[in-house]
Amino acid sequence: MPELCLGFDYGKRRMGIAIGNAIVGTAEPLRALEHVEGQPDWTQLDALVAEWQVDTFVVGLPLTVDGQTQKMTNRARNFSEELWGRYKKPVHLADERFSTIEARKRLAAARASGSRGRRVAKGDSDAMAAQVILERWLAITTEDSA
């Protein structure tokens, strides 16, 4: 079983990134990276992969509400193939339906409780969505290995 995982919420303009620990089954948002000329910012991504020494990647797979593919589904799949080609580490796709809604609820709850400042950066919900995707994948993976 992998120990450290990077999770991604891949979007049109940027991607949210979270780090997760498979041993304890937790994840936390790291940051969002803006795309450069429509492509992932590989320089910054290389730095994150080197810094965290991750074992595996989890990419959110955007599906329609009824589970059908859409344009972004193919972009996320292409990104997952690029990850594999670049880093030669396992890449898993995970259903990301409703992860952005969950992320926004979590951010709103954190602001309401005062544990998070009132100001939200542009990529905060993307990074939080990556956390949601990764937590869901870790929960399923942990159940499967039990």
Note whether 54 and 18 are within 8 A (CB).
Answer: no
Query: How many helices (H) and strands (E) are present in the chain, helices listed first?
Result: 4, 5
User: E strand or H helix at 59, and its extent?
Assistant: strand 56-61
Q: What is the pLDDT of residue 112?
A: 75
- Tell me the domains of the chain and their CATH numbers: 4-145 (3.30.420.140)
Q: What is the pLDDT of residue 141?
A: 81
Q: What is the pLDDT of residue 85?
A: 97
Nearest partner of 99 among 133, 140, 53, judged by Cα? 133
Q: What is the pLDDT of residue 101?
A: 74
Q: What is the pLDDT of residue 36?
A: 92
Nearest partner of 56 among 144, 128, 137, judged by Cα? 137
Q: What is the pLDDT of residue 5?
A: 95
pLDDT tens for each residue of the chain, 146 residues long: 568 999 999 988 999 999 999 888 899 999 999 999 989 999 999 999 999 999 999 999 998 888 888 888 999 999 999 999 999 999 999 988 877 777 778 777 777 776 655 555 666 888 889 999 999 999 888 666 55
Q: What is the pLDDT of residue 121?
A: 62
Note whether 27 and 18 are within 8 A (CB).
Answer: yes
d(CA 17, CA 29): 6
- Where residue 67 falls (left for φ over 0; alpha for ψ -120 to 50; beta otherwise) is left
Q: What is the pLDDT of residue 68?
A: 87
